[in-house]
């Protein structure tokens, strides 16, 4: 449910996910405490910038956050990154535009940098943000896959491969 309505596809509305989930769960007459718990996880789950802490308050939240972050990594994560960059009309790479360590969610949300920058601004940071032992183990390999991809991309960009 954490991606039931993502702010990236709703004009930056950070509350749309919680609102949509609440409405759906209320229609199903789910207990209010469960609704509050789910909405809190949805509120806290997303990466909000390198300088913004996004700690989960429950084990359920930690597991969902790990799963979300693992989806953003590895071969599937690479594919998703370029699909989103294409949707938003972003450059693949621009050596003159350096990656930014976003100190606030607002900075991160408004970023328009090249797609390759996203690896440095978010994806390479995820390995060290995992909550559970299983996710940490899975993240190691996916992190390496992304590093190898970006290294190869840059070699090809420079005409060295």
Asked if the model's pLDDT at residue 13 lies above 70, the reply is no
For residue 28, give the 3-state DSSP assignment: coil
Calpha distance 91→11 (Å, rounded):
21
Scanning the structure block, which residue is given the tokens 């969902």?
64
How many residues in the chain?
161
Residue 10 has pLDDT above 70, yes or no: no
The CB-side HSE value for 43 (13 A sphere, CA atoms) comes to 12
List all residues 6 or more positions away from 8 whose beta carbon is below 8 Å from its beta carbon: 84
Burial class (CB in 10 A: 0-12, 13-18, 19+), 84: middle
**Considering the entire predicted model, what is its pTM?**
0.84
CB atoms within 10 A of CB 96: 5
> pLDDT tens-digit profile of 98-120?
998 888 777 877 888 999 999 99
Domains of the chain: 1-45 (no CATH), 51-157 (1.20.58.1910)
Question: 131-157, pLDDT tens digit by residue?
Answer: 999 999 999 999 999 999 999 999 999
DSSP one-letter code for 88: T
What is the pLDDT at residue 111?
Answer: 85
Confidence at residue 56, expressed as pLDDT on a 0 to 100 scale: 87
Radius of gyration of the chain (CA): 17
Which backbone phi and psi does 34 adopt, to 5 degrees? -70, -45
Q: Which of 3-7, 29-33, 71-75 has the lowest mean pLDDT?
A: 3-7
The pLDDT score that the predictor gives to residue 150 is 98
Give the Cα separation of 161 and 93 in Å (integer): 17
Q: Which DSSP state fits 50?
A: T
For residue range 47-100, what is the model confidence (pLDDT) as tens digits? 777 666 778 889 999 999 999 999 999 999 999 999 999 999 999 999 999 998
């Amino acid at each position: 449910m954490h991606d039931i309505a993502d702010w990236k596809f709703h004009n930056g509305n950070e509350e749309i996910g919680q609102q949509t989930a609440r409405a759906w769960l209320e229609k199903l007459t789910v207990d209010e405490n469960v609704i509050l718990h789910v909405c809190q996880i949805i509120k806290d789950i997303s990466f909000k910038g390198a300088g913004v802490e996004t700690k989960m308050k429950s084990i359920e939240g930690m597991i969902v956050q790990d799963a979300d972050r693992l989806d953003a990594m590895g071969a599937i994560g690479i594919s998703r990154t370029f699909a989103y960059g294409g949707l938003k009309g972003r450059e693949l790479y621009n050596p003159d535009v350096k990656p930014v360590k976003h100190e606030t969610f607002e900075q991160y949300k408004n970023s328009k940098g090249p797609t390759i920058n996203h690896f440095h601004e978010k994806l390479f940071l995820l390995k060290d943000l995992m909550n559970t032992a299983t996710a940490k183990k899975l993240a190691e390999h996916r992190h390496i896959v992304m590093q190898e991809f970006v290294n190869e991309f840059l070699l090809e960009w420079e005409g060295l491969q």
